[in-house]
A and B are shown apart, each in its own frame.
Chain A
Amino acid sequence: MRKFFVLLSREVRSYFYSPIAYIVLVFFLLVSGADFYFQLSFMNQRPVPYSVQEAFFNSVFFWFAFVLIFPLITMRLFAEEFKLGTIEPLMTAPIRDWQVVLSKFFGALIFYMILWIPTLLYFAIFQAITHQPAANSGGAYLGAYLMLLLLGMFYLSVGCLASVLTKNQIIAAIISFCVITLLFFLGLVSFILLDVSSSTRQLLGYFSAIEQMGTLSRGEIDTRPIVLYLSMTIVMLVLTHQAFQSRKWRL
Chain B
Amino acid sequence: MIKVENLTKRYAGQTAIQDLNFEVGKGEIMGFLGPNGAGKSTTMRILSSFMPPTSGRATIAGFDIFEQSLQARAQLGYMPENVPLYGDMRVNEYLEYRAALKGVPQRRIAERVGDVKELCGLKEVEKKLIGALSKGYRQRVGLADALVHEPALLILDEPTSGLDPNQIRQVRELIKNLGKQHTILLSTHILPEVEMTCSRVIIINRGRIEACDTPENLLGQIRTAGGISLEAQVGSDNGAEELKKIAGVRDVTTASEGEWSLFALRVESGADVRAEVFRLATQRHWTVRELSQRKATLEDVFVEITHPDAR
Interface of A toward B, CB cutoff 8 Å:
2-3, 6-7, 10, 14, 17-18, 84-89, 91-96, 248-249, 251
Q: Which of B80, B102, B145 contacts A94 (CB 8 A)?
A: B102
- Among the stretches B45-53, B248-256, B271-279, the one at the interface with A is B45-53
Least Cβ distance of B42 to chain A in Å? 9
Are B52 and A89 interface neighbours, CB within 8 A? no
In the assembly, what is the distance between CA of A6 and CA of B103, in Å?
10
Contact B88 A92 (CB under 8 A): no
Contact A88 B101 (CB under 8 A): no
Q: Within the complex, which residue of A7, A85, A251 is in contact with B84, where a contact is CB–CB below 8 Å?
A: A85
B84/A92 in contact, CB under 8 A: no
Contact B74–A94 (Cβ < 8 Å): yes
Bitwise interface map of B from 34 to 61 toward A, beta carbon under 8 Å scored 1, else 0: 0000000000010011111000000000
CB of A89 within 8 A of CB of B80, answer yes
Task: Other than A14-B86, A85-B82, A88-B50, give 6 A-B pairs with Cβ distance below 8 A.
Answer: A84-B86, A85-B84, A89-B80, A89-B84, A89-B85, A93-B98
For chain B, the bracket of interface size reads 20 to 34
Task: Assess the B103–A251 pair: CB atoms within 8 A.
Answer: no
Partner of A3, one of B51, B87, B103: B103
Say which residue of B45, B73, B86, B142 sits within 8 Å of A93 (CB atoms): B73
Shortest CB-to-CB span from B195 to chain A, Å, is 29
Contact A96 B52 (CB under 8 A): no
Instruction: Among B48, B80, B84, find the residue whose CB has the most chain A CB atoms closer than 10 A.
Output: B84
Residue B291 is within 8 A (CB to CB) of chain A in the complex: no
In chain A, what residue has the closest Cβ to B131? A17
Residues in A with CB closer than 8 Å to B142 are 89
- CB-CB under 8 A from A96, the residues of chain B are 70
Task: Determine whether the beta carbon of A251 is less than 8 Å from that of B51.
Answer: yes
Q: Which residue of chain A has its CB nearest to the CB of B76?
A: A92
B100 within 8 A of A: yes
Shortest beta-carbon distance, B154 to chain A, in Å? 12
Q: Are B88 and A17 in contact (CB under 8 A)?
A: yes
Contact B50 A95 (CB under 8 A): no
State A84–B80 Cα separation when bound (angstroms): 12
Q: Which residue of B lies closest to A83 (CB)?
A: B84
Question: 7 closest A-B pairs (Cβ-Cβ)?
Answer: A85-B84, A17-B88, A94-B73, A94-B74, A92-B48, A6-B100, A88-B80
Whole-angstrom distance between the alpha carbons of A94 and B103 in the complex? 8
Complex alpha-carbon distance, A2 and B101, angstroms: 8
Instruction: Return the CB mask of B71-107 against A: 1 if under 8 Å, else 0.
Output: 1011010101010111111000000011011110000
Q: How far is the CA of A85 from the CA of B87 in the complex (A)?
A: 12
Check A17 against B89 for contact (C-beta < 8 Å).
yes
Report yes or no: B78 in contact with A92, Cβ–Cβ below 8 A.
yes
Residues of A near B87 (CB, < 8 A) are 84
Question: How far is A251 from B51 in the complex, measured between Cα atoms in Å?
Answer: 7
Partner pick for B100 among A2, A17, A85, A86, CB 8 A cutoff: A2
Identify the closest chain A residue to B54 (Cβ). A249
CA distance A94 to B85 in the complex (A): 17
- Give CA–CA (A217, B280) in the complex, Å: 106
When C-beta atoms are compared, the residue in chain A nearest to B129 turns out to be A17
Residues on the A chain within 8 Å of B97, using CB: 6, 10
- Please list 20 pairs of residues, one from A and one from B, whose beta carbons are closer than 8 Å in the complex, sorted by A's number: A6-B97, A6-B100, A85-B82, A85-B84, A86-B86, A88-B80, A88-B84, A89-B80, A89-B142, A89-B145, A91-B49, A92-B78, A92-B80, A93-B73, A93-B98, A94-B70, A94-B71, A94-B103, A96-B70, A249-B52
Q: Are B145 and A18 touching (Cβ within 8 A)? A: no
Distance in Å: Cβ of B60 to nearest Cβ of chain A: 12
Question: How many Å from the CB of A86 to the closest CB on chain B?
Answer: 5
Q: In the assembly, what is the distance between CA of A6 and CA of B82, in Å?
A: 25
Report the separation of the CA atoms of residues A85 and B88 in the bound assembly, to the nearest whole angstrom.
14
Closest Cβ of chain A to B43, distance in Å, is 14
Which residues of the other chain, B, contact A84 by a CB distance below 8 angstroms? 84, 86-87
Q: Which residues of B contact A14 (CB under 8 A)?
A: 86, 88-89
Q: A3-B103, A7-B101, A10-B97 are in contact. Are A92 and B86 (CB under 8 A)?
A: no
User: CA–CA, A138 to B89, complex, Å?
Assistant: 42
- Distance in angstroms between the alpha carbons of A96 and B80 in the assembled complex: 19
- Quick one: which of A6, A18, A85, A251 contacts B80, CB cutoff 8 A? A85
Whether the pair B102, A86 counts as a contact (CB closer than 8 A) is: no
Say whether B78 contacts A89, CB under 8 Å.
yes
**Residue of chain B at shortest CB distance from A249:** B52
Residues of B within 8 A of A7 (CB): 101
CB proximity of B65 to chain A, nearest CB, Å: 11
| Least CB separation from B79: chain A residue | A89
Provide the bound-state CA to CA distance between A10 and B88, in Å: 11
Say yes or no: A3 contacts B101, CB within 8 Å: yes
By beta carbon, the residue of chain A nearest B11 is: A251
Report B-chain residues with C-beta under 8 Å of the C-beta of A251: 11, 51
Complex-state Cα separation, A88 to B71, whole angstroms: 17
Chain B residue numbers with a CB within 8 Å of A91 are: 49-50
CB distance from B135 to the nearest CB of A (A): 15
Tell me the minimal C-beta distance from A17 to chain B in angstroms.
4
Interface centre among A88, A91, A92, A251 (most CB of B within 10 A): A92
